[in-house]
Amino acid sequence: MLRSFDVRSALLSLAILASILAVWQITTHVPDTGPVSVVLSQDQMGRLLDKNMSSEDIEFYTSQGVAFLQLEQIASLNLSREIIDAAGGIRALGISVPDENSAPAPGSLFPSPAKIGIELWATVTDPFYVAGTNDMGYGIQIGYSLLRVVIGYTLAALVAIPLGFLIGMSPLAYKALDPFIQVLKPISPLAWMPIALFTIGDSELSSLFVIFVCSLWPMLTNTAFGVASVRSDWVNVARTHELSTWRTALTVILPAAAPTIVTGMRISIGIAWLVIVAAEMLVGGTGIGYVVWNEWNGLRLDRMIVAILFIGVMGMLLDTAFARLQRAVAYVE
């Protein structure tokens, strides 16, 4: 029954994906209509013929979208089309097609799924190349981002979990620290970035500080809630057996509060991955967030969308890992 349900849900997901890609392809498809032909009046045609421009050349250039003013410039050169082509074309002579004849068609600027698929394949097949400071494989860029997240997240866990135990086990500590937590928790992590840049003076350490701050509060509040929610009967039994506070915390409270603690850790890792992308856009240098911003500045939308897809996939993998950990520590009374 479960297998049948999984198959049906997978087929439904594929159908939704196919529908999205089909609509995307249709809205971004630009038919190859060729150059916009220019229609000349009899008077304009006569003026060009008077300048010894052949009718064959006039027909060719108008079919390529060359306007009358540019045709007059070509005629004034007294050069045959063969000579102009040998010189590199009319653009090489400083004569260009008017903007209205070369403007991109609607939808042509946004990449189609096919174009993104080609770029995605090129990225997946060579994710670790290094061709310069601003030209590295997405595997390397994601590695930079993950390293920052791991460092900031680990530091936050080392502070949040012990402090959460203290708050959860001590009503006095809870009452004393709760006002500070409630004031600091709603502040956007990126609001700390200017302060960090000013005080720390290093963009790398500033990004780690922002990850630390954004990871701290979900772990801290969930740990405190999980510890405080442990049944008092179990704690009283531990006291009856004269267990120390440290041993009670490890053998009684920690197993019971572990699912709630891991839930906070799962929330924190999602926020940390989200924030590091935004932080790297601000500080620049390396990282997948910087890649998105850098590709946008170069109007390489296909590469930018591929980077965004990698951000989503990596976030999903991180969440899946913590979901498995959450099931592994599930507590059964």
Cα–Cα distance, 294 to 286 (Å, whole number) = 10
> How confident is the model at residue 135, as a pLDDT?
77
Confidence band for 104, pLDDT divided at 50, 70 and 90: very low
Q: Is the pLDDT of residue 26 over 70?
A: yes
Q: How far is CA 96 from CA 32, 53, 70, 103, 294, in A?
A: 21, 18, 7, 13, 30
Segment 2-9 shows an average pLDDT of 76
Cα–Cα distance, 266 to 85 (Å, whole number) = 64
pLDDT tens for 30-39 read 665 555 677 7
Cα–Cα distance, 51 to 54 (Å, whole number) = 9
Q: Is the pLDDT of residue 169 over 90?
A: no
Percentage of the chain lying above the pLDDT 90 cut:
24
Cα–Cα distance, 159 to 168 (Å, whole number) = 14
Confidence band for 128, pLDDT divided at 50, 70 and 90: confident
> How confident is the model at residue 97, as a pLDDT?
54
Confidence band for 236, pLDDT divided at 50, 70 and 90: low
Q: Is 211:148 a contact under the CB 8 Å cutoff?
A: yes
Q: Which ranges of the chain does DSSP label H, i.e. alpha helix?
A: 2-28, 42-50, 55-63, 68-77, 81-86, 99-102, 113-125, 138-169, 171-184, 192-200, 203-228, 232-240, 245-248, 254-283, 288-297, 301-328
pLDDT tens for 179-188 read 888 898 888 8
Q: Is the pLDDT of residue 174 over 70?
A: yes
Cα–Cα distance, 5 to 8 (Å, whole number) = 5
Segment 218-241 shows an average pLDDT of 77
Segment 185-193 shows an average pLDDT of 86
pLDDT tens for 43-55 read 888 888 888 888 8
For residues 246 and 61, the model is more confident at 61
> How confident is the model at residue 233, as a pLDDT?
66
Q: Is the pLDDT of residue 116 over 50?
A: yes
pTM for the model stands at 0.72
Highest mean pLDDT among 129-133, 138-142, 190-194: 138-142
Q: Is 210:193 a contact under the CB 8 Å cutoff?
A: yes
Q: Is the pLDDT of residue 244 over 70?
A: no
Which two structure tokens, joined as six digits, stand for 199? 């005080």
> How confident is the model at residue 106, as a pLDDT?
47
Domains of the chain: 42-102 (no CATH), 125-328 (1.10.3720.10)
Average pLDDT, the chain: 82
Q: Is the pLDDT of residue 309 over 90?
A: yes
Segment 172-178 shows an average pLDDT of 88
